[in-house]
Amino acid sequence: MTAAVSLVLAGCGSSNDGGGGSRNAPAGDDGKLVGEQEYLSAPCPEPAVKPTQKEFTYWSMWTKDEPQGRVLQKAFKCFEEKAGVKVNVQWLGRKFLTQNVAPALNTDTVPDLIDQDTSQVKAAVVDAGGTQGLDDVYTMKIGEGDKTVKDVIPSVLYDIPQNKDKDGKFFGVPYELLSNGWWYDKKKQKDFKEPKTTDELFAALDKAKAAGGAIAQDGDIDFYNAYFLTQIAEKYVGKGGIQGAVEDKTGAKWASEPGFLKAAQYVEKLAKGKYFIDGWDAGKFPQIQQRWADGEAAFLFVGSWAPSETREYLGKQGGGASIDYGSFQFPLPEGATHDTIEFLPVVWSVTKKAKNPEAAKAFIAYFTNKDLARGIPAVGDNLHPRAELPVPDDLKQLNAAFTDTKKEKVVFMDSIDSLVGGTYVKNVFYPLNNDLLKGKITAQQFIDQIGPKTADFWKNQG
């Protein structure tokens, strides 16, 4: 994925409702959505915390020329100008945690600051003891009077088990949030109505298939393929249900909980119905997503970074093509009782061996200031956790789904990709799920195999 996205959440509850509360405030109260040049040329805010350390090293999940990279370069310039702290940055891209950070943990060459989604940070760095607690950052002032980080970042976004290390300390501070959903072009489907039932969804898919193409799916991305099954399973078993099945070392829960078979049957119906466009499982990301942008399929199910990625693609293609983005969530299947929506925080983390932790932590607080944070929607066409910042038009429907207090919030894939260093999904879940989505096995075969393979996985762990 080339651009993470942040979303405004509401009514999610947590063990500590201090700070941001339940996030029922509407977004967009802080004025208009400024343009990129206006953002980049705006004066730098004054930092509330000026560290004694005068530099720190940051290894980035972004590339320099990405929208988030441009936002961060502005923030680094401001931090050096206002706090006298130089940021030594390496733009390494999405795989840097496993390719760069994890191998460096046992050396003295580690960065001070890193970022990625909580599941990846936990799997690659936290469980190896590679981060330090950031509870103190939440009490730091951000340069807006007496406001602190926890005053503007809702606790529902960070006070979650997936953001805590083995000592119960927060290892991350969110600055963006990911979600996922169905995407379509309103210009091409002017009479489209959001499906409210499973039958209505499949009717829409049937209509689209008859018209030339229903679903575009980059089948070489394992976690993209997993979204279908986990989304539906969560609606039957609720938050923590999938993780509970994974952590059952006997593997029995996969078969004893009927919701898993129902979810697998849903995915089997997608596979057997041949709703995915030809070549979906033979392409290389982002080829199939780009085919959706070109109009070869009606729907795309992927993360909420879809608008920024596909708009960038169309812009490079030239010709003036554009998409009027619409989105919706999976309808609640018959018999399911959990009206869920997935999210995943992208967080700042400070390494255990950081040589300049004071400076890195001060920057985290500084970047939370609204004058810098507004770059996420202004430049990145994404949303920031701060509720008062504007919401890009492309994401207003998705934002509305999150601010629906009736929806149960679940971390992406119930965070099973963070377990055991990510080895369970790699060795057990992803291969079976791919076979199911590609029609190589039935729903019943999926259930019959995943239970014993889960048990074998845990036996091999010792």
Per-residue pLDDT for 20 more than 80? no
Per-residue pLDDT for 344 more than 80? yes
Tell me the domains of the chain and their CATH numbers: 36-178+343-405 (3.40.190.10), 180-340+414-460 (3.40.190.10)
Higher-scoring residue by pLDDT: 344, 251 = 251
Per-residue pLDDT for 8 more than 80? no
pLDDT at res. 44: 98
Per-residue pLDDT for 29 more than 60? no
Record the tokens describing residue 58, joined without a space.
């940051």
The values of phi and psi at residue 392, to 5°, are -60, 145
**Rounded CA separation 392/38 (Å):** 16
Summarize pLDDT for 417-457 with one digit per residue, the tens.
Answer: 999 999 999 999 999 999 999 999 999 999 999 999 999 99
Query: Helices 430-437 and 443-460 meet at what angle, rounded to 10?
Result: 170
At residue 33 the predicted structure's pLDDT band, cuts being 50, 70 and 90, is confident
pLDDT at res. 242: 98
Strands 299-303 and 180-185, sheet pairing: antiparallel
User: Please, are residues 186 and 192 in contact by the beta-carbon 8 Å criterion?
Assistant: yes
User: Please, are residues 201 and 208 in contact by the beta-carbon 8 Å criterion?
Assistant: no
At residue 304 the predicted structure's pLDDT band, cuts being 50, 70 and 90, is confident
pLDDT at res. 17: 31
Summarize pLDDT for 43-62 with one digit per residue, the tens.
Answer: 999 999 999 999 999 999 99
At residue 32 the predicted structure's pLDDT band, cuts being 50, 70 and 90, is low
pLDDT at res. 14: 30
Indicate left, alpha or beta for 49 from its phi (over 0: left) and psi (-120 to 50: alpha): beta
Using alpha carbons only, give the angle 456, 457, 462 rounded to the nearest 5 degrees: 95
Task: Over range 291-295, report the average pLDDT.
Answer: 98
pLDDT at res. 382: 83
User: Please, are residues 230 and 241 in contact by the beta-carbon 8 Å criterion?
Assistant: no
pLDDT at res. 9: 35
Per-residue pLDDT for 311 more than 50? yes
Task: Over range 327-354, report the average pLDDT.
Answer: 96
Summarize pLDDT for 223-235 with one digit per residue, the tens.
Answer: 999 999 999 999 9
Indicate left, alpha or beta for 289 from its phi (over 0: left) and psi (-120 to 50: alpha): alpha
Mean of all residue pLDDT scores within the chain:
91
Per-residue pLDDT for 19 more than 90? no
Q: DSSP string spanning 4-71?
A: -------S---S---BTTT--SPS--S-----HHHHHHSPPPPPS---S--EEEEEESS-TTSHHHHH
Using alpha carbons only, give the angle 266, 279, 303 rounded to the nearest 5 degrees: 55
The values of phi and psi at residue 413, to 5°, are 55, 25
At residue 258 the predicted structure's pLDDT band, cuts being 50, 70 and 90, is very high
pLDDT at res. 369: 98
Per-residue pLDDT for 218 more than 90? yes
Per-residue pLDDT for 1 more than 60? no
What percentage of the chain has pLDDT greater than the value 70? 93
Summarize pLDDT for 94-132 with one digit per residue, the tens.
Answer: 999 999 999 999 999 999 999 999 999 999 999 999 999
Say how many CA atoms lie within 13 Å of 110 toward its Cβ.
Answer: 24
Summarize pLDDT for 123-161 with one digit per residue, the tens.
Answer: 999 999 999 999 999 999 999 999 999 999 989 899 999
**Rounded CA separation 136/317 (Å):** 46
Closest residue by Cα to residue 157 from 311, 399, 386? 386
* Residue 145 DSSP symbol: T
Task: Over range 173-177, report the average pLDDT.
Answer: 93
Per-residue pLDDT for 31 more than 80? no
Summarize pLDDT for 381-423 with one digit per residue, the tens.
Answer: 888 888 888 888 999 999 899 888 899 999 999 999 999 999 9
Query: Can you tell me which residue has the tokens 């050396």?
Result: 107
What is the total residue count of the chain? 462
